[in-house]
A and B are shown apart, each in its own frame.
Chain A
Amino acid sequence: MDFFTLNPVALLASLMIAATPIMLAAIGELVVEKSGVLNLGVEGMMIVGAVCGFITAVETGSAWFGLLGAALGGILISSIFAFLTQVLLANQVASGLALTLFGLGVSAMIGNGYTGIKPPGFNTVNIPLLSDLPFIGPAILSHDPIVYIGILLVILVWYFLNKTKNGLVLRAVGENHDAAHALGYKVIWIRFSAILFGGMCAGLGGAYLSLVRVPQWTEGMTAGAGWIALAIVVFASWKPYRLILGAYLFGGVSIIQLNLQALGVEIGIAYLSMAPYLVTIIVLVMISSNHLRSSANAPGSLGRIFHASQ
C-alpha cells in the first residue's frame, strides 16, 4: 500500500483529513460551552450526523446533500438535549450522557442495512497554480472543500465571539447567566440556539467521518472522536485558534500511529491504536495541572442550571 509509506506530503495531507471531523465537532462544542452549557453528547450527535449524512448521500447520490442531512440530523438530536436542559432544567451531565447512549443506539438502528456501501464523495478543490505547487499543493491545497470549510468555520466563530455584539452577549450568558438575565438577555434562547449550532457542527463532523475519512458506515464508527473533541475544547482553553492546533495535534497522532502500524513497528497494533486516547489523557493532565491558565478562560456558568426566579 503506497498510501502508507512515510511520505511527508501524504502524511500532512492525511493529517488534515484526520483532524477535520474532530475540529468541526469541537468548534460547535466550544460555542455551546461558551454559552455556559456542557453538552457531553458530542459523541452521540456525531454518530447521528454520520449515519444521517451517509444515508442522505447514498439516497440522493450527492455528498453535499449528505452534509445537509447530517446537519439536520445533528440539529434534531441536539434539540432533545436543548429541550431537556433548557426547558425542563435537567442535569446537563446526565442529559449529555443520555444523548450519547441514545445516539449510538438510534444511529445503529437507522443505519441497519447501509453497511458495506460506498458513499458518493466530494471533488477535491483545485485552485489553478496553487494546487500545482510542489509539496504545499498536494499536501495542503488539494483537499475536499470541507477541510477548508472547517478552518473557515473556526475563524468565523472566533470573529463572532470576539468581534460582534451577539458574540459578546453569548459569552456574557456563559460567564454569568444571572447578570445577563438581569440585563434583559434571553438566556434560555441564546443557549438553545448555541446547543443547536453545536449539534449541527457535530453532525457535520460525523458526516465527514462516514463520507470522507473512512468512508463507510459501521456501527459505533466514531470510536470516541466526540469525546476527543470535548477534550480538545479543554485543551484549547476555549480559544478558537488553539482549537485548530489541538485538532491537528490529534490528527497527527492518529495518522502517525496508523502509519507505524502499517510499517509493522514492533510495539504491536493494539498498543499503537491506544495512542490517541493516551495522548488525550496526557494533554488533559498537562492543561489542567496549570490551574490558573486552564480555569482563567473557562465560562463561569459552565454546566450550571439557569432558572429565572421571578
Chain B
Amino acid sequence: MIRLEKRLQPSKKWTSITPFLAVLATMFVGGIMFWALGQDPIEAIRIIFWDPLFNPQFASYARPQILVKAGPLVLIALGLSLGFRANIWNIGAEGQYIIGAICGAGVGLAFYPSEGWFIFPLMVIAGALGGFLWAMIPAILKIKFNTNEILVSLMLVYVAEKILISVSLGLMRNPEGGGFPGSRNLQYYKAASNPELISGTGMHWGVLVAIALTCLTYIMLTKHTLGFQIKISGQSNKAARFSGTNPSIITAICLGVSGALAGLAGLFEVSGPSGQISIDFNVGYGFTAIIVAFLGRLNPFGILLAGLLMALTYIGGELAQFMLGLPAAAIQAFQGMLLFFLLAGDILTNYQPKFTYKKRL
C-alpha cells in the first residue's frame, strides 16, 4: 500500500525537480501525440526543442525570436505570480495586455509625426497605466462587492478584444492605410518605436525591463515586507490579518501590478515586434503566461527560465508547422499538457509517499 502523508512544508527538492520531470513527461506524451498525428515523434520533438537553437539553417532566424517571445511572457507571468501566491487569480492578463497596447499606441499615434525623446517614455507610462486600470476593475469589484475576480477578469478579456476590433477598424485606423484595418506601423515612426537594440539578438526594451523586473520582484519577495504579506495571504488569511496585512490592499496590489506588467508587455509588443494595433494583435501570451508562472514555480528566476522554454516551444511549434505540417494548435495542446504534468507533479512536493504493509489479522 502506498499512503500519502502531508508534508509540513512543501519539499524544496521536489519543487525544483518537478518542472524538469514535467517537461520530460510532456516530451514523451507529446511525442505519442505527434505519432498519433502521423509524425515521427523523435523528429517532431527535435524540431521543437533543438532546431530553433542549433539547426544551422533556422537558428539565425529563430534564436532572436526566443527573446522576442519570452519578453512578454516573462513580464506577464511575473505579475501573475504575485497574485497566484496570494490566492488572487488574475486570468485576464490577455485583456490587460490588449488595453496596455491600445493606450500606449494611442499616445504614440497622438504625437504622430512629431519627434521627441519623451514620446516613447510617455507611451510606456500610458501602457502600464492602461493595463493597471483594466485590472483594477476586477480588483475594485472584488474589494467592494466580493465579486469573483477570476470570472470578471476573464470576461474583460472578451470586452478588450471587442475594443481592439473597434479601434483597429475605426479610431486608430491608419488614415494612409488604404482602408485596411490596423493602425500606422510604429516601427516606422522613430520616436515611438521599440527597436531591436542589438541587431540579431531580438533584444528590445521589453526584454530588458523583463530581466530588470525579475530581479526586482525577487528582491521584493525575499527582502521586503510586501513580499512577506503576499506570501502569507496565500497561506492563511487569518495569519495574514494577525500580522497586520490588509487583504484589500494586497488584492489591489496583486491585480494592479499584474495588470500594469501585462500592459507594459502589450506596449512593448505593439511598438516593437508587432508594430501596429490590428484585429489579430493578441496571440494568447496572457494565457500562456499562466503556464509560465506555474512552470517557474512562481519564483522570479524560475519564471525567467520558464519563459525562455515556453518561447522555445512557440518557435519550435512554428517550425514544426512549417516543416511537418503539424497544426498550429498542436503546440497549444502541448503547452496545456505541460501544465497538467506540472500540477500532477505537485503531489510529490506537498505529500510524501509512504510505503506501508497491511498487517495480516
Which chain A residues have a beta carbon within 8 Å of chain B's beta carbons? 40, 80, 84, 88-91, 93-95, 97-99, 101-109, 112, 219, 223-224, 227, 230-231, 234, 268, 270-271, 273-274, 277-278, 280-281, 284-285, 288-289, 291, 294, 307, 309-310
13 A-B contacts (beta carbon < 8 Å): A84-B340, A89-B347, A95-B343, A102-B340, A219-B329, A224-B155, A227-B151, A268-B170, A274-B163, A278-B159, A281-B156, A288-B148, A309-B5
Q: Is the beta-carbon distance between A90 and B155 smaller than 8 angstroms?
A: no
Chain B residue total in the interface (Cβ 8 A): 52
Q: In the complex, A102→B333 CA distance in Å?
A: 5
**Interface hit among B110-118, B139-147, B194-202:** B139-147
Beyond A80-B340, A95-B343, A273-B162, whether A109 also contacts B151 by CB under 8 A is no
- Residues of B close to A97: CB separation below 8 A: 91, 290, 339
Q: In the complex, A197→B343 CA distance in Å?
A: 23
- Residues of A close to B267: CB separation below 8 A: none
B332 to A, closest residue via Cβ: A105
Chain B proximity of A133: nearest CB distance (Å): 38
Beyond the given A107-B329, A289-B146, please list 13 additional residue pairs across the A-B interface where CB-CB is below 8 A: A97-B290, A102-B340, A104-B332, A109-B332, A219-B329, A227-B155, A234-B148, A270-B165, A281-B152, A288-B145, A289-B147, A294-B146, A309-B5
- Residues of A close to B328: CB separation below 8 A: 108
Chain A proximity of B67: nearest CB distance (Å): 23
Chain A proximity of B76: nearest CB distance (Å): 14
From residue 153 to 186 of chain B, which have CB atoms closer than 8 A to chain A? 154-156, 158-159, 162-163, 165-166, 169-170
Beyond A101-B291, A105-B332, whether A289 also contacts B158 by CB under 8 A is no
Q: Is the beta-carbon distance between B162 and A271 smaller than 8 angstroms?
A: yes
User: Residue B15 at the A interface, CB < 8 A?
Assistant: no
- Residues of B close to A268: CB separation below 8 A: 166, 170
Q: In the complex, A94→B346 CA distance in Å?
A: 11
Give chain A's interface secondary structure class: helix
User: Residue B46 at the A interface, CB < 8 A?
Assistant: no
Q: In the complex, A310→B170 CA distance in Å?
A: 64
Q: Is the beta-carbon distance between A84 and B336 smaller than 8 angstroms?
A: no
Chain A proximity of B299: nearest CB distance (Å): 16
A286 to B, closest residue via Cβ: B145
Chain A proximity of B333: nearest CB distance (Å): 3
Q: Which of A101, A102, A284 is most buried by chain B, counting CB atoms within 10 A of its CB?
A: A101
Q: Is the beta-carbon distance between A223 and B158 smaller than 8 angstroms?
A: yes
A95 to B, closest residue via Cβ: B343
Chain B proximity of A161: nearest CB distance (Å): 22
User: Residue B226 at the A interface, CB < 8 A?
Assistant: no
User: Residue B220 at the A interface, CB < 8 A?
Assistant: no
- Residues of B close to A280: CB separation below 8 A: 151, 155
Q: In the complex, A118→B316 CA distance in Å?
A: 34
* Residue among B145, B327, B337 making CB contact with A108, cutoff 8 Å: B327
Beyond A108-B327, A274-B159, whether A84 also contacts B344 by CB under 8 A is yes
- Residues of A close to B224: CB separation below 8 A: none
A307 to B, closest residue via Cβ: B6
Chain B proximity of A219: nearest CB distance (Å): 7
Q: In the complex, A288→B340 CA distance in Å?
A: 31
User: Residue B335 at the A interface, CB < 8 A?
Assistant: yes
Q: Is the beta-carbon distance between A94 and B339 smaller than 8 angstroms?
A: yes
Q: Is the beta-carbon distance between A90 and B343 smaller than 8 angstroms?
A: yes
From residue 12 to 41 of chain B, which have CB atoms closer than 8 A to chain A? 37
* Residue among A40, A231, A270 making CB contact with B166, cutoff 8 Å: A270
- Residues of B close to A285: CB separation below 8 A: 141, 145, 147
Q: Is the beta-carbon distance between A288 and B350 smaller than 8 angstroms?
A: no
* Residue among A91, A108, A277 making CB contact with B346, cutoff 8 Å: A91
Q: In the complex, A40→B154 CA distance in Å?
A: 11
Q: In the complex, A88→B346 CA distance in Å?
A: 8
Task: List the 9 shortest-distance A-B pairs measured between CB atoms, nearest first.
Answer: A102-B336, A105-B332, A108-B329, A105-B333, A270-B166, A289-B145, A98-B339, A90-B343, A101-B336
User: Residue B334 at the A interface, CB < 8 A?
Assistant: yes
Q: Is the beta-carbon distance between B151 and A108 smaller than 8 angstroms?
A: no
User: Residue B241 at the A interface, CB < 8 A?
Assistant: no
* Residue among A104, A105, A278, A288 making CB contact with B334, cutoff 8 Å: A105
Q: Is the beta-carbon distance between B148 and A284 smaller than 8 angstroms?
A: yes
* Residue among A99, A109, A219, A271 making CB contact with B330, cutoff 8 Å: A109
- Residues of B close to A112: CB separation below 8 A: 327, 329
Q: In the complex, A268→B162 CA distance in Å?
A: 11
User: Residue B294 at the A interface, CB < 8 A?
Assistant: yes
- Residues of A close to B148: CB separation below 8 A: 234, 284, 288
Chain A proximity of B342: nearest CB distance (Å): 8
Q: Is the beta-carbon distance between A101 and B329 smaller than 8 angstroms?
A: no
B347 to A, closest residue via Cβ: A88
Chain A proximity of B59: nearest CB distance (Å): 26
Chain A proximity of B45: nearest CB distance (Å): 16
Q: In the complex, A227→B151 CA distance in Å?
A: 7
Q: Is the beta-carbon distance between A310 and B3 smaller than 8 angstroms?
A: yes
- Residues of A close to B337: CB separation below 8 A: 102
User: Residue B219 at the A interface, CB < 8 A?
Assistant: no
From residue 78 to 108 of chain B, which have CB atoms closer than 8 A to chain A? 84, 89, 91
Contact with A along B262-306 (1 / 0, CB 8 A): 000000000000000000000000011011001000000000000
Q: Is the beta-carbon distance between A105 and B166 smaller than 8 angstroms?
A: no
- Residues of A close to B146: CB separation below 8 A: 288-289, 291, 294
Q: In the complex, A99→B336 CA distance in Å?
A: 7
